[in-house]
Structure 1
Amino acid sequence: MGKPTGFLEYPREETIERKPLQRLKDWKEYTEKQPEDMLKRQGARCMDCGTPFCHIGFEINGAAAGCPINNLIPEWNDLVYRGKWKEALDRLMKTNNFPEFTGRVCPAPCEGSCTVELAGPAVTIKNIEKAIIDKGFENGWIQPRIPEKRTGKKVAIVGSGPAGLAAADQLNQAGHSVTVYERADKAGGLLTYGIPNMKLDKDVVERRIKLLRQEGIDFILNTEVGKDITSEELKNEYDSIILCTGAQKQRDLTLQGREAEGVHFAMSYLTQATKRLLNIEVSEPLIDAEGKNIIVIGGGDTGADCVATALRQKCKSVVQFGKHPKLPDVRSDANMWPEQPNIFTMDYAYEEATAQYGHDPREYSVQTKKIVSDESGRLKELHTIQMKRTSDDAGNMVFEEIPGSEKIWPADLVFIAIGFEGTELPVLKEFGVEIKHNKVNAKHGDYRTNVDGVFAAGDSRRGQSLIVWAIQEGRDCARQVDLSLMGSTVLP
């Protein structure tokens, strides 16, 4: 695959990005279009490695290793190297319904499992994937695929995130009549109202939704199951139902002063920022970072998105707290290939903050002790202490406070970005499905709930996870639904 000696001849060339200070002036995607000759060189780096671990899609120590949707990565790398872009697109679309999403926001576990990564930098798989699908749209190769015949079966999907959209796409192509119910005013789930525009332009999401509509999928927006329509109504109207409601129950802080005015969940902030960008009316009180000292609690991607959003709103300062130590620059002995590498990286948000303020906004091994408000109940400051990570007598990791490391941080807004506990329960209880650990109790690979004709897929079933796992589950669940409706299945 690729050029046999390409990985020896060509170095890895990273995604070309707009200059940090330039892109802070707008909300457009922070990456630039990549030159075709560069993409061909990167495709040439793909080895004829015999066993391409890049698309194994396993979980090792709870993290993805390789691509969960089993993308045919070596094949389309080779085709890009040879300049056969349309053929590369055909290969890409065999396994991935939405490469324009994964090519922008997937953390690319495929690259962590790339064989080249054993001896040097991995192939830029994600970058090539994005280029293939973008070229497909630019050249008009992506056209509505109208099913030739309908089966007469009707399927309802609750939730329009990546799992719901993938299931809808697959079942529609199998000839079933699919209706997607979404409680928000726009389809896309977190693709629309969770991921900021500078990572995933909302026109890209809307373009795909429009295409799915043209192919025959119905979207019913502003409709919450259990409030605007009942589960019984859906059961009576549809032959099967798939719950793809995501894992949107945000994990909260139990701290003194949590009730202070100015403390918000990260997703509330990000959703409102996107609505304002799209000129959609916001009914909640305005959350605006302009001229304010911002603290983000939580060291993950959602926290980074809060940093980038606050910068674009012209905040006075921004700091992001993480409870873990700074990651190493290279893999540790406990983080072996082909696992996803847990190493230090500079996310787009941190590059921007460094360019703006002259330093990385991240603070490591920080424990917030309490939140302090002024006489009017308005957020004033955070009190923290530094932590050190050690092991107890049983070998379990524990955190201990470092005496004398207390610090007070002035703050006008705090965003809580410490993850999600599971899916929101009201809609699950409406259907009467069995719940386990705040998730739908349904087996991976089968997806059936305890309620006849009701399936579950994506984060609502597996918990907070990657977009590629959501797509994988949506596709796989669609296959099981097709099999249950027809007795056999034509879906991959």
Structure 2
Amino acid sequence: MGKVTGFMEFERVDETYEAPVKRLHHYKEFVAALTDDEAKVQGARCMDCGIPFCNNGCPVNNIIPDFNDLVFHDDWKNALDVLQSTNNFPEFTGRICPAPCEAACTLGINSDAVGIKSIEHAIIDKGWENGWVKPQLPKTKTGKKVAVVGGGPAGMATAQQLARVGHDVTVFEKNDRVGGLLRYGIPDFKMEKWLIDRRVEQMQAEGVKFETGVFVGKEAIGAEVKNYSTKTVSPDQLMKDFDAVVISGGSEQPRDLPVPGRELKGVHYALDFLIPQNKENAGDFKNEISAAGKHVIVIGGGDTGSDCVGTSNRHGAAKITQFELLPQPPETENKPLVWPYWPTKLRTSSSHEEGCERDWSVATKRFEGKDGKLEKLICVRLEWKDGKMTEMPNSEFEIKADLVFLAMGFVSPAAQVLNAFGVEKDARGNAKATVDGQNAYQTNVPKVFAAGDMRRGQSLVVWAIREGRQAAHAVDEYLMGSSVLPR
């Protein structure tokens, strides 16, 4: 505990943003990280509360009070060591994690929570700037070979952990670059992709091999390879060549909206807009979907919907409206009722602040257009009672629409991959595997493990990292009989 009375003396200071009028003209990050002095003050606000609920609120169980204290005492290198002991990629989570740790902060019961995410961001950036983040080479090699299918955050965490204890790891990624949805689903203005490239270089130095443009399955066809240039590797080949296989792909099957007019030109899944935009930013090809000068409707109020809003704003959309099926949440949470859990409250993203009208309790009845081209939506207002929705009488309305992005979440990972391996699925279509016990993360197929979205369904990057780390422990234990890797 750096300063006993710090939580009473100092107020929370958040990271600042570049003004919307400037940031709308580029796809670069626009967040200004805390200065050293600001981070130290935020570290001083940590109460050393005895039971650090923030540790449990964080999916990777970051040792938050310890690195807060070290930052306050200007011991940045040890703060980095503490942070890296639980989190392989703090520069990812320090930028895009919604910070459930802060929702669990004890100070947050009656005041503003400690700015844990901004401190994490400051620590890892300083670590890279000073050359403290280095490859961690294994002391000995085990001779065991592991294939990781999917190069997103879960697969990257799995691969890095296994390589650091001496296994030969090869990551198979269907895209031409590593990162999965971290690279292609998240816009560059939220996280620039050179951050991933830097980690890939570190992992290569640690012995990880990356095979990009490779689809693992029976046949690479249809939606599975849209926007990709791939070759196919069969599961049988991986089972023959490797001692263990970890399936760690992302949840990419979007939830559809099967209403009349769905086939009209101008109605798209969110990723069909976001992925090509990231590829355009990388210099690959031009995004064929343009929101410039158009009336854009985003259906879905989560992070993916927000990403569509921010990208449409950068295109120069004439007007953006975002619809959510659920009622508008309260502006502030009921802390005595929900703490230390993730609260339901109104969340306004930086993309919303750039320009967007938001509406809640709205259902889309149909899309209408002319000559096969979308022109408007016919919607209805909903009434929610006891968790059930009913349409409000005489509430139907129409709204002009040139483009619609469906951002209503993702229902399952790539079934084609799971089916090719013969992996048993749960009721939601995810790989069936437990996280505890002797067979943790193991599927019904011998020596095949599953982690990340592939096992738990659509989730956060920080949960993917946790799953990857824990799966690596399970694989190491399976191969060697025991493991020194942390869970």
Which category describes the TM-score, using the shorter chain as reference length?
over 0.9
The reply to whether residue 401 of structure 1 matches residue 401 of structure 2 is no
Residue 388 of structure 1 pairs with residue 380 of structure 2: no
1:206-235 Cα shifts (integer Å, max 9, x gaps): 111121112110000000012311000000
Q: Is it true that 1:344 corresponds to 2:346 in the alignment?
A: yes
Output the CA distance in 1 between the equivalents of 2:366 and 2:176: 36
In the alignment, which residue of structure 2 is the partner of 1:158?
149
Q: Which residue of 1 aligns with 2:227?
A: none
SS across alignment from 1:89? helix
Deviations 1:243-275 (A, max 9, x none): 001211111011110011111100111001101
Counterpart in the other structure of 1:318: 320
Structure 2 residue 268 is the aligned partner of structure 1 residue 264: yes
User: 2-side partners of 1:420 and 1:95: how far apart?
Assistant: 28
CA distance in 2, matches of 1:317, 1:92: 42
CA drift at 1:344:
1.6
- Higher mean C-alpha deviation, range 411-420 or range 15-24: 15-24
What's the CA shift string for 1:286-322, capped at 9, x where partnerless?
1111111110000001000000000001111111101
Of residues 481, 485, 489 in structure 1, which corresponds to 2:483?
A: 489
Which moves more between the two structures, 330-339 or 470-479? 330-339
Q: Bigger shift: 325-334 or 159-168?
A: 325-334
Give the counterpart of 1:371 among 367, 374, 382.
367
Aligned to 1:92: 83
Partner of 2:253: 249
Match of 2:229 in 1: none
Tell whether the 8 Å contact from 2:139 to 2:165 is kept in structure 1 after alignment. Answer: no
State whether residues 335 and 341 of structure 1, in contact with CA within 8 Å, keep that contact through their aligned partners in structure 2.
Answer: no
Following TM superposition, by how much is the alpha carbon of 1:334 offset from its aligned partner in structure 2, in angstroms? 8.6
Question: Where do residues 434-473 of structure 1 align in structure 2 (5 Å cutoff)?
Answer: 434-436=424-426, 437-445=428-436, 446-473=440-467
- Structure 1 regions of 5+ residues with no counterpart? 57-65, 354-359, 392-396
Aligned counterpart in structure 2 of residue 126 of structure 1, from 109, 117, 121: 117
Cα distance in 1 for partners of 2:273, 2:423 equals 31
CA contact (8 A) 2:297 2:403 kept: yes
Aligned to 1:306: 308
Distance in 2 between the 1:253 and 1:345 partners?
24
After the TM superposition, which parts of structure 1 deviate over 4 Å for at least 4 consecutive aligned residues?
none
Q: What does the per-residue CA deviation read over 1:5-39, in whole Å, with 9 as the maximum and x for residues that have no partner?
A: 11100011111111121111111112013211111
2:66–2:79 CA contact under 8 A, matched in 1: yes
**Deviation, structure 1 residue 77:** 0.5
* Distance in 2 between residues matched to 1:361 and 1:182, nearest whole Å: 38
- Residue 135 of structure 2: SS of its match in structure 1? coil
| Amino acid aligned to 2:302 | G
Query: What SS class does the counterpart of residue 41 from structure 1 fall into?
Result: helix
Cα deviation per residue 1:53-77 (whole Å; 9 max; x = unaligned)? 0011xxxxxxxxx001110000000
Q: Deviations over 1:444-464 (max 9, x none)?
A: 230010110000011110111
Match of 1:47 in 2: 47
How far apart in 2 are the matches of 1:454 and 1:418?
Answer: 31
Give, in angstroms, the shift of residue 333 of structure 1: 7.2
Kept in 2, the 8 Å contact 1:288–1:313? The answer is yes
Q: Does the CA contact (< 8 Å) of 1:298 and 1:417 recur in 2?
A: yes
Q: Closer, same or farther in 2 for the Cα pair 1:479/1:52, shift >3 Å? A: same
Give the 5 Å matches for 1:12-411: 12-56=12-56, 66-226=57-217, 227=219, 228-281=232-285, 286-332=288-334, 335-353=337-355, 360-374=356-370, 376-391=371-386, 397-411=387-401
Partners of 2:433 and 2:33 in 1: CA distance: 41
Partners of 2:8 and 2:335 in 1: how far apart?
26
Aligned mates of 2:346, 2:404 — CA distance in 1: 24
Aligned to 2:421: 431
Asked whether the 8 Å contact 1:2–1:74 carries over to 2, the reply is: no
The letter of the residue matching 1:27 is Y
Identity %: 47
Q: Which residue of 2 aligns with 1:59?
A: none
Deviation at 1:184, TM superposition (A): 0.7
CA distance in 1, matches of 2:442, 2:272: 32
Instruction: Give the aligned length.
Output: 469
Give distance in 1, aligned partners of 2:214 and 2:249: 13
Q: Which moved more, 1:122-131 or 1:29-38?
A: 29-38
Is 139-148 or 78-87 further displaced after alignment? 139-148
2:224 match = none
Is residue 408 of structure 2 the alignment partner of residue 418 of structure 1? yes
Unaligned runs of at least 5 residues, structure 2: 220-231
